[in-house]
Structures are given as C-alpha cells and as structure tokens.
Amino acid sequence: MIRAVGLSKRYGSVDALRDFSLDVHPGEIVALVGPNGAGKTTALKLLVGLLAPTAGSVSLGGYDVQRNPVEAKRLLAFLPDQPFLYEALTVGECLGFIGGMYGLAPEVLQQRANALLQTFGLMERLNDRVGELSYGMKSRLALIMSLLHEPHAFLLDEPFFGLDPQTLRLVKRLLMECAARGMAIFLSTHQLPIVEDVAHRIVILHQGRSLAVGTWEELRRLYGGTRLEEVFFRLTSSGP
C-alpha cells in the first residue's frame, strides 16, 4: 500500500534522509523510531507528498505521490504532530468540512461521523467550538477527521503525544482495529513501549539512515536486549 524506494532528501549540505526504502502492506502497522533530528518528520512529509524527494519515489496504492497527488491523497490520511484545526468552527462543522473535501455523501458522512464521535466520546461536544476544546479533545477530533473517509493508508506523526491514559489506550486499540480491517499504518513516535505493543514492524532511523527494520522479535534476536529501548540505544549510540 505504501511504498518508498531509495528516498533521499537533502537540505543544502545536510542529508535529512538517505536512501530510505519501505513497504507497508495492508493490515500492517509500521513504527518509525529515532532520536530528535533523525529525519522522521521529513520521511513522513515525503511519503504524503508535502516535500519533494531529492532522489527516489513514493507510491500509495500504486499511485505516485508526485505524479498523481490527488489520486494518492484520496487513499491516505495524514495526522501531523500539530494538526491544523479551525478554532472558530464547531466540531460538527469541522467534520462537515472534511467530509466535503473528500466528497462523502451526506448520509455516509453522517453515519461515519456519529460512529467515530461515539467511539471518541465527542458526541456531546458536537456543537462546541474547536477553540474551546482541551488539547486531548483536539487530538481526538483530529483523529476523527483523519479517519472519516476511511483511508487505505494512515500516516501519523507523534500521535501519542499529550494524550491521557484512556485516550492513549483508545488510540492504540483503534489503530489495531484499523489495521485488522486492512489499513496500512505508518507512524513515527518516541513512545517505545507503545511501539512494542502495537507495531508489526519497526524502523529505527538515525541521522537520516535506516539502521534496522524488522519485527520486534527479529530486532531482539539480532541486537539482544529485553526491551526496545535497549536496542534503540545500542543502535543509535546516544543513550545515557
């Protein structure tokens, strides 16, 4: 579903990402971990087409992100680390807007929005302005907005940041359910214990290079250690 081949990105003399290749299959959750400045956000932005690669290519569902952006974006959902929300609109209006952007039929929009609002406990806030919501509620709304069109590929940048334990568990469960329904999920995070729980495969990125790719079992077998944190520090050599 998500395929990156030889992806590189250069900012002046700095290589933000070097020869990054990846395949995320339907029903799979792949987590990208790495220290700050490793190139995680750059990789995600390249995958969704917000940045043009210096070399390499990205395709989503067979559509090249650079050549067929509209078709590719119809299949994907992207949740940035700081999602853009219209603070002056109500929750319902935001959902109406995003439904309109993806061309959802009114009855489909209504049905999906109600289901997601129930799941995330935002039904009571439907007529409240986004600006009045707490950070956690805004994060939940951003997730609902991402999932409203039932994407085939879901890319998330730091989705667990600032969430309370209940929402955290809800998001984890939701991601696993989405994957079970066949969605390809690619997320970047610093929350290593969560990665152990949810990710089918893990990519460790350091200084723009992919150092290791594999399941948690494979990484443990190859690099030793009982926790992902140990493997992470061993590979990135910047641990305490």
Partner 1 sequence: MIPSQPQSIPLPPKGVRLFYWVRWRTWRVGMRALWRAPVKLGVIVAVWSILLVGLYGLAWRGIRLIYDTAGLGPFLMSRLWFLFLFVVMLMLLISQLTSAYATLVRAPETLWWATLPVSARTLGRAKWLESSFYSAWAVALLVLPLLLAYLAVLHRPWVMAAGALTMAMLPLLGITTALSTTLLLVWLRWGGRIVIRREVMVGTFLAVCAALFWTLGERHETRHEEVWFLAIQALLPRMQIAMSMWLPSSWAATVLDAMLNERWTDAALYTALLWSTTLLCWRLFDHVAAQLLLPVLRRAGQAPASSASARRAGAPVLRVAWWARRPLWTLFAKDVLLVVRDPLQWSQAVVFFGLLGAYFANIHRLTEFSGEPSWRIGIASLNLACTLLVFGSLAVRFLFPQMSVESRTLWLLRIVPNGMRQLLVSKLLLYGTMGVVIIEGLLALSSTRLGVPIVVQWSLGGIGILAALTIVGMTIGFGALWIEPGAQDAARVVSSSSGALVLVLMLGYVACVVAVLVVVWLNAFGATSHGPLLASAALLGTSIGLGVVPVSRGLRRLERLETTT
Instruction: Give contact residues for partner 1 (rule: CB under 8 A).
Output: 9, 11-12, 14, 16, 45, 48-52, 69-71, 73-74, 76, 78, 80, 83-84, 86, 88-90, 92-93, 95-103, 106, 109-110, 113-114, 117-118, 123-124, 126-127, 129
Q: How far is the CB of 179 from partner 1 (least distance, A)?
A: 21
The CA-atom distances, in angstroms, between 82 and each of 19, 69, 210 are 27, 22, 25
User: Taking the complex as a whole, how short is the minimal distance between the CB of residue 58 and partner 1, in angstroms?
Assistant: 13
Q: Which is nearer to partner 1, 24 or 194 (CB)?
A: 24
Closest separation in Å from C-beta 156 to partner 1: 12
| Smallest separation (angstroms) from partner 1 to the CB of 37 | 10
Residue number with CB closer to partner 1 (97 or 161):
97
Is the CB of 135 or the CB of 227 nearer to partner 1? 135
CA distances (Å), origin 68, targets 16, 25, 46, 71: 24, 20, 14, 6
CB 177 within 8 A of CB 208: no
Question: Distance of CA 146 to CAs 54, 95, 162, 197, 219, Å?
Answer: 28, 10, 18, 22, 31
From residue 111, alpha-carbon distances to 44, 118, 209 in Å are: 30, 11, 43
